Amino acid sequence: MALRRSLLWPLTALLAVQLAGCAPEGGSGGVQSQKLATITGRGKLICGVDGKLPGFSFVGSDGQYSGLDVDVCKAVAAALFGDPGKVEYRDLNSSERFAALASGEVDLLSRNTTMTLSRDAAGGNGLSFAPTTFYDGQGVMTPANSGVKTLKDLAGKPICVESGTTTELNLADRMRELGVPYTPLKFQTGDQTYAAYLGGRCVAVTSDRSQLAAKRTSFPSPDQHILLPDVMSKEPLTPATVNADPAWADAVRWTVYGLMQAEELGITKANVAAKLAEAKANKNLADLRRFLGVEGDFGKQLGLPSDFVVRAVTAVGNYGEIFDRNVGPGSKLKLDRGVNRQWKDGGLIYSPPFR
């Protein structure tokens, strides 16, 4: 009997928690998110990353994770706790990432995951995607002195490609569309492909742009190779949470949007404190005051502290700074912003208004 009771209690408690989680939310502006409660109770965010991807997530010599994906985790942790260090990273491979998210083993998946319909749909993987943090896509690299400026210049020239990949198919499709004849040189492995390219057997090599940039850093003279501006496929790499907890998904979504909006407003890691002081002093800067949480209840609506944007930007800087530091000019990858520019500069980075 005693045994049965000892078993029963935790079960009842578990049931109660489940029911509380399912209870309809009141419209009082407060937020009931089981996930948020779990995370704040735990005192740290568990973030699923790749861990082995140059520029996106890797462990530096000092034992610290860094990269663009990692900075998203840090920003969310900073928004929640005011401390970007309160993250536990889980290295996930591509086959277990969704299971880890669905089982609740990680709170947030920031692991260069392409947003697609089947991954988003409730009948598919049932993920909830935050804003895209990196628009990747298949690109073409060529020696700077080859005179090739666009895909059309590659007419009749050999292009190195890994065989049996979507990369190979994309290249064929795109070149057929453009009506540009070319000679594909196919190789079994990535290493062979790049060796052939460096050996001068082809004038161009194609793969995902972030991959090309990473490979380029290991070339003998990286500056002598350029990425063409053409992008042949859509790979929007996007952080994700589970569908089941919209409040948590919103918190992540608007933290990421906050990083983008901060760049648009010219708020950087260096000047965020000054901007905050300015907003506090001047009552007329209503937009800025709301964005930085001086007035209004945006944070409360999301279940976050009111100054969550300030915390995130203080920790990792705005979106542009994150990009530059990890994959852009400030890194060895030296990718240009391309479509990852702000919408005002003709890119796709666009934060909806904070109001």
Tokens found for residue 96? 């277990």
- In a 13 Å sphere around the CA of 22, the CA atoms on its Cβ side amount to 6
Q: Does 189 bind other proteins (CB under 8 A)?
A: no
CA dihedral 250, 251, 256, 257 (to 10 degrees): 60
Comparing C-alpha atoms, which of 37, 47, 35 is closest to residue 76? 47
Please, which residue, 30 or 85, has the CB nearer to other proteins?
85
> Residues 334, 144: contact at Cβ < 8 Å?
no
CB of 309 to other proteins, least distance (A): 29
Selected binder of other proteins within 91, 120, 295, 336 (CB under 8 A): 91
Please, which residue, 93 or 166, has the CB nearer to other proteins?
93
CA distance to 175, 232, 297, per residue, from 181 (Å): 7, 16, 58
Q: In 3-state terms, what secondary structure has residue 78?
A: helix
Please, which residue, 92 or 161, has the CB nearer to other proteins?
92
Selected binder of other proteins within 39, 45, 55, 73 (CB under 8 A): 55
Question: Distance between CA 319 and CA 323 in Å, rounded?
Answer: 6
Binding mask 92-121 for other proteins (x = CB under 8 A): xx-xx--xx-xxxx----------------
Provide φ and ψ at 335, rounded to 5°: -75, 140
- Residue 234 DSSP code: -
CB of 133 to other proteins, least distance (A): 18
Q: Does 278 bind other proteins (CB under 8 A)?
A: no
Question: Distance between CA 46 and CA 65 in Å, rounded?
Answer: 13
Q: What is the amino acid identity at position 301? A: Q
Binding mask 231-270 for other proteins (x = CB under 8 A): ----------------------------------------
Selected binder of other proteins within 60, 147, 200, 353 (CB under 8 A): 60
Q: What is the amino acid identity at position 39? A: I
Selected binder of other proteins within 35, 45, 54, 161 (CB under 8 A): 54
Question: Distance between CA 128 and CA 243 in Å, rounded?
Answer: 5
Q: Does 6 bind other proteins (CB under 8 A)?
A: no
* Residue 312 neighbours by CB distance under 10 Å: 29
CB of 183 to other proteins, least distance (A): 27
Please, which residue, 104 or 143, has the CB nearer to other proteins?
104
Q: Does 348 bind other proteins (CB under 8 A)?
A: no
CB of 86 to other proteins, least distance (A): 13
Q: Does 328 bind other proteins (CB under 8 A)?
A: no
Which residues contact other proteins (rule: CB under 8 A)? 38, 42, 51-55, 57-61, 63-64, 88-93, 95-96, 99-100, 102-105, 214-215, 217-219, 331-333
